[in-house]
Chain A
Amino acid sequence: MSAIERLPAEDIPDNGLLRFLTCGSVDDGKSTLIGRLLYDSKTILADTLHAIQRSSARRGLDIVDLSLLTDGLQAEREQGITIDVAYRYFTTGTRKYIIADAPGHEQYTRNMVTAASTADLAIILIDARKGVLTQTRRHSYVAHLLGIPHIVVAVNKMDLVDYAQETFDRIHDGYLEFASRLGITDVRFIPLSALHGDMIVERGDRLRWYEGPTLFEMLEAAPAIHSEHVEKFRFPVQYVCRPQDSANPELHDYRGFMGRVESGELHIGDRVTVLPSRLESRVRDIQVLGESLPRAVAEQSVSILLDDEIDISRGDMIVRSDELPQVSRNIDAMLCWLSESPLDPRRKYLLRHTTRDSKAMLAAIAFRVDINGMQQQPAERLVMNDIARVSFRLAQPIFADPYAESRGTGAFIIIDESTNNTVAAGMILGIASGDSG
C-alpha cells in the first residue's frame, strides 16, 4: 500500500469525496450490497424503507429486497435486474461517498463503463457458488483499463456456501492468477453476504476465519487519489470571459480564460504556454468570482488571466511552459466500442478530447481483446462491447498525455455525427510526436 494510507488520521480533517462502483456478473448481488451498505450505515430514511417494504410485499417476498433501493426504473423492478447506473450518496463523519451501482448484464456494459469512468474504487462482486465468470473478467478488465486505482473483490453469497473458507480461497487464487495476467496489482479480497449483512458494516459471527477489515472499513481507508504520477498542469479552456463593459474601465480589457484544472497546480507568476499557438505568457491572476487565488489545484474551476493579450478560445489548452504535453494528429489508444452500430472504418467520426473536437478516422485496429482467454485477436471491425487497440488519424492536433499518467488529458470519446450519440470511450496509450499539424 502507498504511504498515503498510513498518514495519521488527524492530518486528514476532511477526507473529501470517494466515488466507487459495484460491478461484476448478473445477479451477483451488486444492488443488494449497496442497499445493505446504505441500510446498515443508517442512510436509508424511514419512508424510503417503507416504500421498498411495500414493494417487496407486493412482489410476494417475505424479506425486504434491498436491491429495490437502486433498481428504480419500472423495467428494472419488473425484471429484477439493473439496466442503467443508479447513483446513491452517503456520508460518514469523515467522508462523502458517491456510489454507482452498475448493471451486470453484458447488454448493458456501456452503462458499466459510464459508471467506471468516474470511479476511484471498484467493488467487483463474485457469486461464491459460481466463481469467476466472463462478465467478472470483462468488468475487471474495464475497471483496469479505465485506471480505477483500487479494486476490491467481494466474494458474495457466502451464506449459500456455508461461509466456507475453502470456497473463498479457491476464488481468491483463481482471480489473482487472472488479474496478474492483466497487470492488476492493487487488489484486495473480502468474503461477505450482502443479503444477511456479514462483513459489510458489521462483521457478523459467521466469517470468523477472515481477519481483514470490513468492506466499510476498506472504503473509509481508501485514499481518494487518481494518479500515482507526478502531475503536470493541464488547463483546457472551456469558455472565454470578455465582458467588454466599456462603462467599467476595469472590465474594459478583461479576458478571463475559464476552465477546470484537469491535473497539476498553477501559481500566479508561472510561465505558461498556450496550445496550439505555442505563444507564451505569465499568469497575472487566478480568479473565482472576483477573488484572487494564489494558486489553482487539480479539479478546481477557475479563471486565468494572463499578462499578454493572446488570442485564446475554447478548445485551446494552457500548460506550464516547462511541462508541455505531446501534440499530434495521430494517436494510439484502447477503445471500448459502446454502440449498437459497429465501428465503420470508412466513416469519419467526431473525437472529443478535453474541450476540443476533431474529425477522426480509424487508421488501424491493432487487435481486439478476447475477454475469455484475454488474448489478442485480429479484427476488421468492432461491435458493441468490443475492446480493442486502435489508432486514429485526426483532422486537428490534440494535446494529450497517456491515460495512465492523466485521466483528464488521456481520455476521449467518439461521437457519431449522424445520430449525435456517444459511441466509444478511448484511452490514449501514446501519441506519435513530430506531426504537430
Chain B
Amino acid sequence: MAELMSSSEFRVALEQAFSGTMAKDASFSRAWATGKLHKQHFVHWATNHYHYIGPFGDYLGLMYANTPDHARDAKDFLLQNMYEEELSDDRHTDLLIRFAEACGGTREYVQDRNNAMPFAKGMQGWMYYVSGRENFVVSSAALIVGLESQVPSIYRTQYPTLINKYGFSEWEAEFFDLHITSDEIHGERGYQIVLKYADTPELQQRCLHYVREAADMRFAYTKALYETYVQPDLGPWVEEGEREPALVG
C-alpha cells in the first residue's frame, strides 16, 4: 500500500514518471532537431498536431466542469489556460496553420480530419476520455504535467533548428516560440494544482499512472509520425554515430 508522499517527493516522482519516454527523444523529434526533415514532413506534422491539440480548449472545458467549486484556484487556472489558447493573442491553432502554410500546406488540408493518422485520432480520443471522465487532479496530471509541461523541452531544441537550419522566419515559426514560454508557466501551474489537490495516496498513484500513460501516448504518436511520413523517404531512423561504419574499398 503506497503512502502519501510529501510535496517535494511527489514532484520528483511526477518528473521521473515521464523522463524515460520523452517525446523529444522519439525518432521524428530527433530527425527534426538534426535537420533531416523536408517541408512536406512538416505539413504532415502540423496536420496531425492540429487534430491532437486543436480541441485543447474542449479538453480544458471538460476538466473545468469536473473541478469542484472549492478548488477555485484550479478552476481559474483552467479558464485562464483556455483563454490563452484561444483568445489572448493569436489563436494558437492559427499560428500552427501559419507554419503549415509556410511549408506549402493549406488551411483546408490541415483542418481535414481525413488527413490525420489514426494515432492522432487516438491521441485526441484519449484526451477527451481523460479530461471528461477522470478526477480533475488526475486529468491535470495527465494533460498538463504529462503533456503540456514537456512542450518547452521539445520546442527549445526544435525552434533554433527551424530558424538556423531550415530557414524559417521567426514570424513563420511563432507557434513554437510562443509555446516554449507559455507552456513553461502552464506546466508549472499544473504542477502546483496536482501537488496541492492530490492529497491521498490513491490520487497520487493515479496521477503517476496517467503521467506515464500520457508520456507513452505522446512518444508512440511521435514515433508513428516518423514511420508514417519520413521513413518512406529516409529509411528507418538511426541516431548519428550509431550507423554501421561504411565498408572501405
Decide if A and B are genuine partners. Answer: no
Task: List the interface of chain B (C-beta within 8 A of A).
Answer: none
